[in-house]
Amino acid sequence: MSGIVELVYFATAVTFILGLKRMSHPTTARSGIHWAGIAMAVATVATLFHPEIQGRYILMLLAVAIGGGVAYLGARKVEMTDMPQMIAIYNGMGGGAAAAIAAVELIRVAENPMLAETHGAMALWLGVLGALIGCVAFSGSVVAWAKLDGRMQKSFNFKNQQWVNLAIIAVAVLFGIIIATTTPGPFTLIVFFVLALAFGAMMALPIGGADMPVIISLFNAFTGLAVAMEGFVLDNAAMIIAGTVVGSAGTLLTQLMAKAMNRKLSSVLFKQFGGAPSGEKTEVEGSMRPTDPSDGGIQMAYADKVIIVPGYGMAVAQAQHKIWEMVELLTERGVDVKFAIHPVAGRMPGHMNVLLAEAGVPYDMIYDLEEINNEFEMADVTLVIGANDVVNPVAKSDPDSPLYGMPILNADQSKNVLVIKRGQGSGFSGVENHLFYLDHTRMVYGDGQKVVGEMIASIKTL
């Protein structure tokens, strides 16, 4: 039986890699997750026949039913706009599971030092490391989830925070070394796990909302690594391979995201965004000029080329369906409409794409920053809906601005700019947006969905 189970694990690991590969292309993406899902189901069933399992089947099925059932219901009913925090919480669960596996194994070793011999020294070290990483991923993801879900204040800072964090992780590592080299007592284990959990939470606490996707992606990579480490402890090839693939893919994804935001990973982790420039609100010349939604709609109806720049505001207003309705009307009139998506628009790279796809926008109407940035000068109207920092020309012009250097969409170069915005506040970074003050910019205030609805009505009257 053991041989068959091993073979199933091998096939699972291969299928995961193929599935991930398929997921990296839009046309095959959906089949990719199906492949991976089938592999996971088969591996789970095969595990019931794993020779090292000596019972507890009822407990096992009960836990699967409860955990899986709650997660299923949660994932089914969540709005697409709330996806980022769902990814965070499910990721945290994975990290927590890896840490819990480590806890069980370490307790067993502590009770029966003979087991350390069979496990081998390397497995013990990796197990401890996996426990540390898993705990950090768990508590960090929970904090990230709480913040994104609005259950917690945006950020939390105090003096010498970094030193406190450093002290926590240093002591945690010290206890980890004690656990890996000696026969630890319960006190040592408890302190180790508590410190590791504390460090994860401390790591996520000061991170501002804009950097959240980066940190979630990082915790995702952490969980992958933790799973791989526990795979070594349990001698499980599927866990080792799948965990490592996710660990490295997640690390690369984290770097891509940080790069898209023109932020170094180190500054995401150790510095606070725009922490200093609270006093320096640059004065902007000119004023914002409001206009009616109906005027904006008519302006677009008579344009040749319209580019739409969505941002987090669109997600909040759930305006994506209305926008697609409007785009369909415009294309019927022969207007060339394109969507321009900044890599960090929304709360996660690709967040806007997901929302637009939900509304039915075909993905080949959606363009990346590099693909479309030269087209803005040819656009008659650029419609900015709920985006702010990603179109702020200050990023190119003002070296003192915290946004300086971030690649932006050149919305300011189009002939006319319409900005749909709820109020007069500034973006996530708190930086005043100079685009809003340009002569050819008109502001349309109001709820995104309502405003676009009025635009649609005005286009229909033509």
Partner 1 sequence: MIEGVAALYILMLAAFVGFEVISRVPVILHTPLMSGSNFIHGIVLVGAMIALGQAETGLEMTIGFIAVLLAAGNAVGGYVVTERMLEMFKSSDKKEQGK
Q: Which of residues 160-219 bind partner 1 (CB under 8 A)?
A: 216-217
Q: Which of 161, 188, 244, 413 binds partner 1 (CB under 8 A)?
A: 244
Let me know if 323 is exposed, middle or buried by CB neighbors in 10 A (0-12, 13-18, 19+). buried
Least gap, CB of 135 to partner 1 (angstroms): 12
290 in contact with partner 1 (CB under 8 A)? no
Place of tokens 């006093």: 279
What are the start-end ranges of the H helices in 120-211?
Answer: 121-148, 161-181, 186-204
Contact predicate 392/311, CB 8 Å: no
Q: Residue 25: how many CB atoms within 10 A of its CB?
A: 10
* For partner 1, the closer CB: 67 or 150: 67
Least gap, CB of 428 to partner 1 (angstroms): 18
Do the bridges between strand 416-421 and strand 441-445 make them parallel or antiparallel, or are there none, so unpaired? parallel
Tokens of residue 351, six digits: 């967040």
> Among positive and negative, which fits the CA dihedral 369, 372, 376, 380?
negative
| Active-site entry in 304, 389, 398, 447 | 389
Taking the C-alpha atoms of residue 51 and residue 298, their distance in angstroms, rounded to an integer, is: 71
Contact predicate 223/137, CB 8 Å: yes
* For partner 1, the closer CB: 247 or 427: 247
Least gap, CB of 439 to partner 1 (angstroms): 32
Q: Which of residues 253-282 bind partner 1 (CB under 8 A)?
A: 253, 256-257, 260
Place of tokens 């391979």: 241
Least gap, CB of 84 to partner 1 (angstroms): 8
* For partner 1, the closer CB: 91 or 299: 91
249 in contact with partner 1 (CB under 8 A)? yes
Contact predicate 308/383, CB 8 Å: yes
* For partner 1, the closer CB: 25 or 154: 25
How far is it between the farthest Cα atoms of the chain?
83
* For partner 1, the closer CB: 7 or 29: 29
> With the CA atoms of 413, 415, 420 and 423 taken in that order, what torsion angle do they form, in degrees rounded to the nearest 10?
70
Q: Which of these ranges, 68-76, 283-291, 384-392, 419-427, lies near partner 1 under the rule CB under 8 A?
A: 68-76
Q: Which of residues 96-135 bind partner 1 (CB under 8 A)?
A: 96-98, 100-101, 103-105, 107-108, 111, 122
* For partner 1, the closer CB: 161 or 244: 244
Least gap, CB of 418 to partner 1 (angstroms): 21
C-alpha separations of 343 from 132, 134, 356, 409 in Å? 32, 29, 14, 10
Q: Which of residues 365-404 bind partner 1 (CB under 8 A)?
A: 365-366, 368
- Which helix or strand (DSSP H or E) is residue 340 part of? strand 336-341
* For partner 1, the closer CB: 142 or 438: 142
Q: Residue 462: how many CB atoms within 10 A of its CB?
A: 10
Q: Which of residues 305-364 bind partner 1 (CB under 8 A)?
A: 328, 331-332, 341, 343, 348-351, 353-354, 357-358, 360, 362-364
DSSP labels for 429-456? T----GGGGSTTEEEEES-HHHHHHHHH
Whole-angstrom distance between the N-terminal and C-terminal Cα of the chain?
73
How many chain residues bind partner 1 (CB under 8 A)? 121
Least gap, CB of 365 to partner 1 (angstroms): 6
Least gap, CB of 69 to partner 1 (angstroms): 8
Q: Which of residues 46-65 bind partner 1 (CB under 8 A)?
A: 47-48, 50, 52-56, 59-60, 62-65
400 flagged as catalytic: no
Least gap, CB of 8 to partner 1 (angstroms): 10
Taking the C-alpha atoms of residue 337 and residue 328, their distance in angstroms, rounded to an integer, is: 9
Taking the C-alpha atoms of residue 176 and residue 115, their distance in angstroms, rounded to an integer, is: 18
12 in contact with partner 1 (CB under 8 A)? yes
* For partner 1, the closer CB: 69 or 113: 69
Residues acting as catalytic residues: 389
